[in-house]
A = this chain, B = another copy of it.
């Protein structure tokens, strides 16, 4: 298993490079990522290219046996480019250009930007085409959907709409534009709704479509870069580094164009006292493994206190540097690259800490990193292992966007609905896949589709089939509310699932932060919050019943046997422990082996191949933890990972 670092030779006096490379080699660093923001050094004047400095850096790493991942430097064009081609700067909703001076200001579609960025990529990839040490190419940096209101983007948007709808009549009808007299009578009337304040009031169909366009448009930009890279460096894998950003593109579509998934992993550093504060490293890592349903790479990994424009966060506690990297391995990463080797002493990110401090004196964090590198070198046998899972949780990009556009009730967030179930299953010690709604369901025993708000007829049919063929399907409130046009189905909820779930939602009460008592079919008393579906069972049996409000005594959750499978419908939002109880009940009913009594904040996952199973047991807490795992008493220090390999018999 490989450990790497992000390194910016251009930030440091060249006479420091050698000592850095030697220390990396000694420490066990296998890869450095380079050149991400270096366009102004690669092309200091228009058309004048300089790779000499970067050659010397690559030479230095090669000499020390360290591979490089090179980046296309297009995230930050040089200032001469913006000066000469002002339209290369993204256009804001009011028609002006956005403020520059930070990063990522370019419009993906501006012809001058496209021409110049393609040229620099072409030059760079040709220049490094024969370098053996180039392990991969990274496209740009932390790309977001294309939110630009310029003429070029506006025309592309209209073209995208024309391709999708054909006629304005069709578009008006499917959007329901008659509302507030908003029917377009000419394509020219259509403008990209890029103003995020105004957007909140617009037709949700219109806004969702623009976000789909903006994602597609970004993917087109990725493809155009990938083509150049592949033409010049046909044997080098290509990726881009993603994160959970504001204008997140469709990651499943994006990485379909790329060779592997790369993720920037910055867990927050203040550990919440409240167990309900759902930040979950494991969820995010499982999500990223699900993007291509394959192992992946961490392109930037937390190394210390974070902060630049904002006040600094806490520093990493002892164990976090090593533990969080091994946790990434546990969930499918095969390489973890730390951001960054040494903390910057200049520029906006000088308080975003690397492994080594400003002083250049390696300290506690670096010591832990050294230890991590040593451990990673011993883990050769897990490189060709993968995670397998009987349980999948569906992530729907459309539902994610649509629920951001139209918040349903106070306190109800799409990711929380997924994390709640992910946590429930994980606490039972089973691997959990986070998959797209377009994935193959047939290899799972349990498929959980929380808040599948936008649900096409096709997806519904595939889920119903999965259940009929013996699978266990879990649905929740706010499932199948919307069709692909982001309009409401004129059906009683859960719409296409009425028969499968064996129930109908008579009406609902969006209770926000209020709490209501409920009890389960075993007589246990719980509480629910946010949303209350009032359910009428047709063939289902109640498993949760409201114990308050005007729907006291009516079902809040049901189970239905239908076809060869089972369908659970949970019409409200519960608290963590209740999801864990439900998950246990469901897994047991499916005869999936679980680990009972896993301590809070201890995580277990399994990677395997034909020959062996490797168990990862991680104490993701600040407290030492002693417990029995597979008849062995384990004592785990804070953030300690125990890796146990067992041959398959």
Q: Which positions in A face B, CB cutoff 8 Å?
A: 10-11, 37-41, 44-45, 73, 76-80, 82-83, 93-96, 99, 101-103, 175-186, 188-189, 193, 195, 198, 200-206, 270, 305, 307-315, 317-318, 343-351, 357-361, 363-365, 406-410, 412, 485, 487-493, 506-512, 514, 550
Q: Which 8 A-B pairs have the closest CB atoms?
A: A176-B346, A179-B347, A76-B181, A312-B510, A99-B198, A40-B181, A345-B488, A358-B488
Chain B residue, CB-CB nearest to A172? B40
Known: A184-B79, A311-B408. A350 touches B39 (CB 8 A): no
**Is the pair A510, B345 in contact by a Cβ cutoff of 8 Å?**
no
**Is the pair B198, A311 in contact by a Cβ cutoff of 8 Å?**
no
**Is the pair B349, A179 in contact by a Cβ cutoff of 8 Å?**
yes
Query: Which listed residue, B95, B205, B346, B492, touches A359 by the CB 8 Å rule?
Result: B492
Known: A201-B309, A364-B507. A318 touches B550 (CB 8 A): yes
A581 to B358, CA, bound (A): 33
**Is the pair B176, A347 in contact by a Cβ cutoff of 8 Å?**
yes
Min CB distance A166 to B, Å, is 19
Min CB distance A71 to B, Å, is 12
Min CB distance A552 to B, Å, is 12
Q: Which B residues are in CB contact (< 8 Å) with A41?
A: 178, 181, 183
Known: A198-B101, A204-B348. A314 touches B510 (CB 8 A): yes
Min CB distance A567 to B, Å, is 20
A185 to B94, CA, bound (A): 29
Min CB distance A176 to B, Å, is 2
A485 to B359, CA, bound (A): 17
**Is the pair B510, A313 in contact by a Cβ cutoff of 8 Å?**
yes
Q: Which B residues are in CB contact (< 8 Å) with A318?
A: 550
A292 to B418, CA, bound (A): 54
Min CB distance A88 to B, Å, is 13
Q: Which among A95, A181, A348, A359 has the greatest number of chain B C-beta atoms within 10 A? A: A181
**Is the pair A80, B180 in contact by a Cβ cutoff of 8 Å?**
no
**Is the pair A40, B178 in contact by a Cβ cutoff of 8 Å?**
yes
Known: A93-B99, A99-B195, A364-B507. A176 touches B344 (CB 8 A): yes
Chain B residue, CB-CB nearest to A346? B176
Q: Which B residues are in CB contact (< 8 Å) with A73?
A: 181
11 interchain pairs, CB-CB under 8 A? A40-B183, A78-B181, A102-B202, A270-B514, A311-B407, A311-B512, A314-B512, A318-B550, A345-B490, A350-B487, A364-B506
A80 to B189, CA, bound (A): 8
Q: Which B residues are in CB contact (< 8 Å) with A363?
A: 506-507
Q: Which B residues are in CB contact (< 8 Å) with A201?
A: 101-102, 308-309, 348
Q: Which B residues are in CB contact (< 8 Å) with A184?
A: 79
**Is the pair A202, B410 in contact by a Cβ cutoff of 8 Å?**
no
Chain B residue, CB-CB nearest to A348? B203
**Is the pair B182, A79 in contact by a Cβ cutoff of 8 Å?**
yes
Chain B residue, CB-CB nearest to A190? B79
Q: Which B residues are in CB contact (< 8 Å) with A37?
A: 179-181
Q: Which among A40, A80, A177, A317 has the greatest number of chain B C-beta atoms within 10 A? A: A40
A412 to B485, CA, bound (A): 46
Q: Which B residues are in CB contact (< 8 Å) with A507?
A: 315, 357, 363-365
A205 to B346, CA, bound (A): 8
| Other contacts beyond A39-B181, A313-B512, A317-B550: 15, CB < 8 A | A11-B176, A40-B178, A40-B183, A44-B185, A77-B181, A93-B99, A182-B347, A270-B512, A270-B514, A305-B510, A344-B488, A345-B489, A350-B406, A357-B492, A359-B489
**Is the pair A511, B407 in contact by a Cβ cutoff of 8 Å?**
no
Q: Which B residues are in CB contact (< 8 Å) with A103?
A: 180-181
**Is the pair B79, A198 in contact by a Cβ cutoff of 8 Å?**
no
Q: Which among A77, A349, A406 has the greatest number of chain B C-beta atoms within 10 A? A: A406
A39 to B181, CA, bound (A): 6
Min CB distance A301 to B, Å, is 19
**Is the pair A102, B198 in contact by a Cβ cutoff of 8 Å?**
yes
Min CB distance A626 to B, Å, is 20
Q: Which B residues are in CB contact (< 8 Å) with A345?
A: 176, 487-490
A338 to B204, CA, bound (A): 24
A360 to B488, CA, bound (A): 11
**Is the pair B359, A490 in contact by a Cβ cutoff of 8 Å?**
yes
Query: Which listed residue, B83, B205, B361, touches A492 by the CB 8 Å rule?
Result: B361
**Is the pair B79, A315 in contact by a Cβ cutoff of 8 Å?**
no
